[in-house]
């Protein structure tokens, strides 16, 4: 099936230095009940850089067991060393999840051929579905559309989380996407634009909050009620900049803790909690 709709890149709750599985389980059950399209543990919003190897496997196992195949689970899994990515993927081959969200190799800044060869090697190492994650402002290099079109020819590369930050590139990608290839925005503020241009949905950190409204925007656009979707989108568009006014996922964790959806808004260094000023702003946001 083609990937579409609202996907939650779920946070990783912490409590006293450890993963808070009680809160994680509650979150997963809550979002599944909202009829989201899929769950992505261990993405950037899940603070993947500060997750230990043993926690990595346990979080995946716990997520799969909790979700119970009610929605697909795609695991955030990638690095800037191709062999390490392949090895990590093989280390979880015994766990029954549907696919991976794999980031463009970061920091090394490979050329387009290097990016292609990286993802081809990952693709050839697994039968799982692969969503590519293009986010140049984090990785230091952009995956050009021509490279994505080449990668889309590989059978198990089925889409992209597009956070390229260039509306012209995103529009060209959506207008020319190969058949069966999904374009999901990772730029929360571009969600409505992505849908009306013909994109397939979003992997949206901000959909942790007001999940129903994000789903309603998607459903209305799919039913060609763009104006109805726009009215709801205006409400969401006012909230999103506040959620990202300080490094994510700290503002989200504060809100989720404030709504008693997690036990603690704890983060792991180098991430730190939000400012008192932002706390007051978030308390006044009607979510």
The verdict on whether omega for the bond into residue 157 sits within 30 degrees of 0, i.e. cis, is: no
Please state the domain extents for the chain.
Answer: 5-211
How confident is the model over 37-58, as a mean pLDDT?
A: 97
How confident is the model over 277-287, as a mean pLDDT?
A: 88
Answer yes or no: is pLDDT of 286 > 90.
Answer: no
pLDDT tens for each residue of 181-209: 999 999 999 999 999 999 999 999 999 99
Q: Which residues are catalytic?
A: 133, 161
State both tokens at 67: 């979700």
What pLDDT is attached to residue 95? 98
Tell me which residue of 2, 32, 1 sits closest to 160, measured CA to CA: 2
Answer yes or no: is pLDDT of 287 > 80.
Answer: no
CA pair distance 165, 142, nearest whole angstrom: 10
State both tokens at 23: 């809160």
CA pair distance 246, 63, nearest whole angstrom: 27
pLDDT tens for each residue of 117-176: 999 999 999 999 999 999 999 999 999 999 999 999 999 999 999 999 999 999 999 999
pLDDT tens for each residue of 113-122: 999 999 999 9
Tell me which residue of 101, 92, 86 sits closest to 38, measured CA to CA: 101
What pLDDT is attached to residue 48? 97
Answer yes or no: is pLDDT of 1 > 80.
Answer: no
User: What is the architecture, at CATH level 2, of domain 5-211?
Assistant: Alpha-Beta Barrel (3.20)
Per-residue pLDDT band for 285 (boundaries 50, 70, 90) equals confident
What pLDDT is attached to residue 283? 87
Are β-strands 38-39 and 5-8 bridged in parallel, bridged antiparallel, or unpaired? parallel
Per-residue pLDDT band for 284 (boundaries 50, 70, 90) equals confident
How confident is the model over 252-259, as a mean pLDDT?
A: 97
Tell me which residue of 113, 86, 99 sits closest to 43, measured CA to CA: 99
């Amino acid at each position: 099936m083609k990937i579409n709709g609202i996907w939650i890149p779920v946070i990783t709750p912490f409590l006293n230095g450890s993963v808070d599985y009680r809160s994680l389980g509650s979150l997963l059950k809550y979002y599944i009940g909202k009829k989201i399209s899929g769950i992505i543990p261990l993405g950037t919003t899940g603070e993947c850089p500060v997750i230990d190897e043993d926690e990595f496997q346990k979080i995946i196992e716990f997520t799969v067991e909790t979700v119970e195949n009610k929605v697909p689970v795609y695991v955030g899994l990638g690095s800037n060393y191709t062999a390490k990515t392949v090895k990590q993927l093989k280390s979880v081959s015994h766990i029954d999840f549907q696919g991976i969200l794999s980031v463009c190799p970061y920091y090394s800044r490979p050329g387009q051929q290097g990016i292609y060869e990286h993802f081809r090697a990952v693709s050839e190492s697994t039968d799982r579905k692969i969503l590519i994650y293009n986010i140049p402002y984090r990785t230091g290099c952009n995956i050009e559309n021509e490279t994505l079109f080449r990668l889309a020819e590989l059978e198990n590369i089925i889409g992209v989380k597009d956070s390229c930050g260039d509306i012209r590139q995103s529009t060209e990608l959506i207008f020319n996407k190969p058949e069966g290839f999904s374009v999901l925005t990772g730029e929360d503020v571009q969600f409505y634009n992505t849908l009306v241009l013909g994109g397939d949905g979003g992997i949206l950190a901000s959909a942790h909050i007001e999940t129903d409204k994000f789903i309603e925007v998607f459903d209305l656009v799919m039913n060609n009620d763009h104006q109805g979707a726009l009215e709801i989108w205006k409400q969401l568009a006012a909230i999103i900049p506040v959620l990202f006014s300080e490094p994510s996922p700290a503002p989200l964790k504060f809100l989720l803790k404030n709504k008693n959806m997690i036990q603690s808004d704890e983060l792991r260094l180098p991430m730190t909690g939000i400012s008192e000023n932002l706390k007051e702003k978030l308390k006044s946001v009607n979510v």
